[in-house]
Amino acid sequence: MFYVYVLKSEKDKKLYVGFTSDLKRRLKEHNNGFSISTKNRRPFSLLYYEAYLSKEDAEKREFKLKKFKNSYTELKKRLSNSLTKL
């Protein structure tokens, strides 16, 4: 399985989108400061994830969420209630 995930920083309340084949391990890496791009924004909560059988499909989805504003905005709309709870 491959995962596209959205983390919410408890420090600055911003979101981070990523891709991995091991979701639990990757969340620990983010929270332990092993990811350069997120280490100053710790701790993180897992807000959302999508599971894919194909690595290519997961990478394509992550790319769209990161590069295409409309995809990211639509996901935030779907998660609007969850965003306020964390």
Bridge partners for 18 per DSSP: 5
Q: Where are the domains of the chain?
A: 2-85
Report the sign of the C-alpha dihedral through residues 64, 82, 18, 13, in that order: positive
CATH fold of 2-85: GIY-YIG endonuclease (3.40.1440)
Low-confidence ranges of the chain (pLDDT < 70): 86
Tell me how far apart the alpha carbons of residues 8 and 20 are, in angstroms, rounded to a whole number: 16
pTM metric for this prediction: 0.91
| Average pLDDT of the chain to the nearest whole number | 94
Instruction: State the pLDDT at residue 36.
Output: 92
Choose among 37, 6, 33: nearest CA to 20.
Answer: 6
